[in-house]
Structure 1
Amino acid sequence: MTQLPLAQKATGWFFQPVALGRVAAMRFLAGAFIWVDWWWYMPWILGHRHVPGELYQPLFIARVLPIFPTPDYWIVVGTLIVLLAASVPMMFGKAPRLFGWIVAAAYFEWMIIAMSYGKVDHGKFGFLLLLFLLPTMPKAKWGDRANLSEHVGWGFNLVQIGVVCTYFFAAWAKFRYGGFEWVNSATMTWAILRRGTEFSTWMLDYPWMLRMSQWGIVGFELLSPIVMFVAAKRLKYAIVAFFYCFHLTVYLAVEISFLPHMVAMACFLPLERIRPRDVLRNLPRLPGLVRAKLKARKRIPAQRRAPEPVREAEPAS
């Protein structure tokens, strides 16, 4: 049975091969973030080891799957020890499937412990997807651009869909719970009054600008799925760069960080081009290499079409 042209295009898009070098880079980034998460990003999770069990209100999935015990001192500390211990070999590609599954399960339990006391972060969704999909991928080496895998492409496409859904459904939630008042009221004014910085407090004198930013945020979130269907790689990378700039702006304005989401979003980028040894070797002479490359581009003459040959006049009869 032959596939319809539309089905063939969808299959080709969803299983577009990706170089294995990107897998090694994403494993390293994911493992490195787990240490950053524990030490700097969300250190308050460890404090739940002292919280009474009566305050524990498990998330929906923890109620559906009754395999998550009420956190106590040893469960919280033990989960963290397992998570940190398994993340190190995963980072460096040692038995990545075994340690990858351990990291995914331990981090999932870590999120149950973190989010079952009244605060739920939607910025962790893409990162959780990444952790559960990395163990399904084969062993990989940094800089491997020769070996391509459709399975890797499928996995990273799922992570990218999760990243985009984080944006799109955030806009949907704004309209679901706040309606059009979210974009037409003083939402950003309230946020800056609570969490404003020296980069944003000046905007309180320009409420029209804050209201425009609210419409801009929602418009950006609703249009974010476009990045999934852009064929031109440079344009796609430019859109992803805009995503990163958006999060940097939000952090500078109200100190709200989406660092795990940004780690998951890195799977859009051609990280297979990175070779750590080459980077370290060329780091001292990197400015010179950049200048030489720019000069070489300037020396390349613009390509001109060859002049068409002039036809000789035909002899008069």
Structure 2
Amino acid sequence: MTQLRGFQKISARKATGWFFQPVALGRVAAMRFLAGAFIWVDWWWYMPWILGHRHVPGELYQPLFIARVLPVFPVPGYWIVVGTLLVMLAASIPMMLGKAPRLFGWIVAVAYFEWMIIAMSYGKVDHGKFGFLLLLFLLPTMPKARWGDRRNLSEHVGWGFNLVQIGVVCTYFFAAWAKFRYGGFEWVNSATMTWAIIRRGTEFSNWLLDFPWMLRASQWGMVTFELLSPIVMFVAAKRFKYGIVAFFYLFHLTVFLAVGISFLPHMVAMACFLPLERIRPRDLIRNLPRLPGLIRRKLQARKAVPAQGPPAEPAREAEPAS
């Protein structure tokens, strides 16, 4: 019994240490900038059709479940849609620049949440915004930060980014679960990707229609990847973890080139896996002309392997002259 209790205590301590692993504050500044920048990209390029809902009759509005449970969301009209957009864009600028980031962060989070209610209450619901919404609601809970701060670590920041990472992984895992729930094994065994490429194929993917076995293999590979995505949360080796995250980005790039489907907000949220605290914008701009040479010297230094030999003796100090 004593051994069992000791094992439980050790397990709880390890779980707590993993969940509250300290993260540098510099990553917070970088993620605030990325989140605010994406909001401008979102309304202008990524989902500009949301603004068109200001002209949609109120009778077509079918609020999402959360909007029905919390009766604080009005029926979108002209000024509701335009006002939400203006508040969201105006508050995102000081949040990006680190000015009163908690105050403006909360304003951005609430305004963007209302923006998503307006967007998704007319029959189309995107699952790729889940991780980004989590990020917006967790950033205001984090302290003020500056770019490149690698000294100051925070367990609270680690907790927040862990929640965002869990949201990112759940987006993949439950996407696979939904495929089997609504499509069964026919989703991976039928012509799902063939149908997708016929509808929205590009010059990069149309040739695959002549090789249906490759499309079926890609369906199995996609679902396998989604089911195994939680592995990234438990990888201790940082290089291996960054390699998995790079594969995630490559996967989304491939999907975009094949069928034109983009998961840009999801990819912004996924950036919290990366060591963005190493980025210093001023140093980056200053070193930009010398960047090719720096990269070349860095690669040459890694290729240079020191010869194995006996350890060198410590150098002796020179004797004082008499």
Range into which the TM-score falls when normalised by the shorter chain: over 0.9
Show the counterpart of 2:180.
175
1:292 aligns with one of 274, 291, 297: 297
TM-score by length of 2: 0.93
Show the counterpart of 1:231.
236
Specify the SS of the correspondent of 1:123: coil
Question: Any unmatched runs of 5+ in structure 2?
Answer: 312-322
Taking structure 1 as reference, are residues 59 and 305 closer, same or farther at Cα in structure 2, changes over 3 Å only? farther
Taking structure 1 as reference, are residues 203 and 98 closer, same or farther at Cα in structure 2, changes over 3 Å only? same
Structure 1 residue 222, shift from structure 2 partner: 0.1
Number of residue pairs matched by the alignment: 306
Specify the SS of the correspondent of 1:122: coil
1:36-55 alignment runs, 5 A limit: 36-55=41-60
Show the counterpart of 1:91.
96
Specify the code of the residue in structure 2 equivalent to 1:110: W
Q: Distance in 1 between matches of 2:302 and 2:228?
A: 35
The reply on whether 1:164 has 2:169 as its aligned counterpart is yes
Specify the SS of the correspondent of 1:198: coil
Q: Distance in 2 between matches of 1:289 and 1:38?
A: 37
The reply on whether 1:221 has 2:214 as its aligned counterpart is no
Structure 1 residue 20, shift from structure 2 partner: 0.1
Taking structure 1 as reference, are residues 303 and 287 closer, same or farther at Cα in structure 2, changes over 3 Å only? same
Specify the code of the residue in structure 2 equivalent to 1:289: L
1:19 aligns with one of 18, 24, 27: 24
The reply on whether 1:249 has 2:272 as its aligned counterpart is no
Structure 1 residue 66, shift from structure 2 partner: 0.3
Q: Distance in 2 between matches of 1:92 and 1:34?
A: 14
Specify the code of the residue in structure 2 equivalent to 1:42: M
Q: Distance in 2 between matches of 1:229 and 1:65?
A: 36
Same amino acid, percent of matched pairs: 88
Show the counterpart of 2:203.
198
Between 290-299 and 151-160, the greater mean CA deviation after superposition: 290-299
Structure 1 residue 292, shift from structure 2 partner: 1.8
2:280 aligns with one of 275, 278, 281: 275
Structure 1 residue 305, shift from structure 2 partner: 6.1
RMSD: 1.2
The reply on whether 1:146 has 2:154 as its aligned counterpart is no
Question: Any unmatched runs of 5+ in structure 1?
Answer: 307-317
